[in-house]
């Protein structure tokens, strides 16, 4: 069985297209709305859905996603309920789903059990910001058995040695963090982005997707010119936050996605 992420990149390459990846936090503002948003993202042309699993101490996240995490916890989103949500969504959609999850949650759930339950629920991989390649061997062993992607992060400060290490340890794609610091929308992309991606591409042939700070259609397009995909998170989460309690929340998010995605 080929992983949906690999299948998606293969299809995109064939069509000379790049990935558009959208992030939302599970349970923000409720699990019911998250499920509707997952459908909306899938129908709005998102190539991969990145689904955050709320955590009380999200180190890599800026204020927008931290607040979403707090709302997710209030919205009763935990690992079991998010697995359940994806399992139900899988009855209707085939879009790859990747978790953004902190290692504490995986470790306490049980590594082997996490991978098995994730795959059985229809989750295709995980980005774990606080798990370096050196410490991911056990998870990678379990993931390999179940064709589950383990996606490692690279930063502007990563040395060539680090790039090689993260690349060797990553399956699915490599997540390049475009700036030092936490997540959040930025006015412009870093000047050294192009040369950094070029350098990573010299070292690896795995897909490289760029996240952190991308918030406009022009930025998505610029990133897609140099990388294999663009990841938008905080900008989407802000639209959710602004429309909490409104009937057309899901529709507004869908419309915003279409304004961001150059393929729309």
Residues 116-141: tens digit of each pLDDT: 999 999 999 999 999 999 999 999 99
Q: What is the total residue count of the chain?
A: 264
Give the pair of three-digit tokens for residue 116.
């098995």
Catalytic status, residue 112 = no
- HSE, side-chain direction, 13 A CA sphere, residue 233: 29
Beta strands in 71-166 (DSSP E): 97-100, 125-127, 149-151, 153-154
pLDDT of residue 62: 75
Give the pair of three-digit tokens for residue 129.
């910001």
The structure tokens 């690999």 sit at: 6
Domain total of the chain: 1
Active-site residue (options: 28, 40, 61, 124): 61
The pLDDT tens digits of the residues spanning 37-59 come to 999 999 999 999 999 999 887 66
Owning domain of residue 147: 4-260
Residues in the chain where the model's pLDDT stays below 50: none
Active-site residue (options: 50, 124, 222, 228): 50
Catalytic status, residue 192 = no
pLDDT of residue 7: 97
CATH of residue 29: 3.20.20.70
pLDDT of residue 184: 54
Q: Which run of H or of E encompasses 20?
A: strand 19-25
pLDDT of residue 2: 79
- In angstroms, the CA 44 to CA 257 distance is 7
């Amino acid at each position: 069985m080929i992983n949906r992420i690999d299948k998606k990149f293969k299809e995109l390459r064939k069509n000379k297209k790049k990935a558009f990846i959208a992030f939302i936090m599970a349970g923000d503002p409720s699990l019911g709305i998250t499920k509707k948003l997952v459908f909306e993202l899938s129908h709005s042309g998102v190539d991969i859905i990145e689904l955050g699993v709320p955590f009380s101490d999200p180190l890599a996240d800026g204020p927008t996603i931290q607040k979403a995490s707090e709302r997710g916890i209030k919205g009763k989103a935990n690992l079991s309920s998010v697995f359940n949500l994806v399992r139900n969504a899988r009855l209707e959609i085939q879009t790859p789903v990747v978790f953004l999850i902190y290692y504490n949650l995986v470790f306490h759930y049980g590594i082997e059990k996490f991978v098995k339950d994730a795959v059985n629920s229809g989750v295709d991989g995980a980005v774990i910001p606080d798990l370096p390649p050196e410490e991911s061997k056990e998870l990678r062993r379990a993931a390999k058995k179940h064709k589950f992607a383990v996606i490692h992060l690279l930063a502007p400060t990563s040395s060539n040695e680090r790039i090689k290490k993260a690349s060797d340890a990553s399956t699915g794609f490599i997540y390049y963090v475009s700036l030092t610091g936490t997540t959040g929308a930025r006015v412009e992309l870093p000047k050294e982005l192009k040369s950094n991606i070029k350098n990573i591409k010299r070292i690896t042939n795995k897909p490289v997707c760029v996240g952190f700070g991308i918030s406009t259609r022009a930025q998505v397009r610029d990133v897609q010119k140099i990388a294999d995909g663009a990841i938008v998170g905080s900008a989407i989460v802000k639209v959710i936050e602004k429309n909490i309690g409104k009937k057309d929340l899901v529709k507004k998010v869908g419309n915003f996605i279409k304004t961001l995605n150059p393929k729309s």
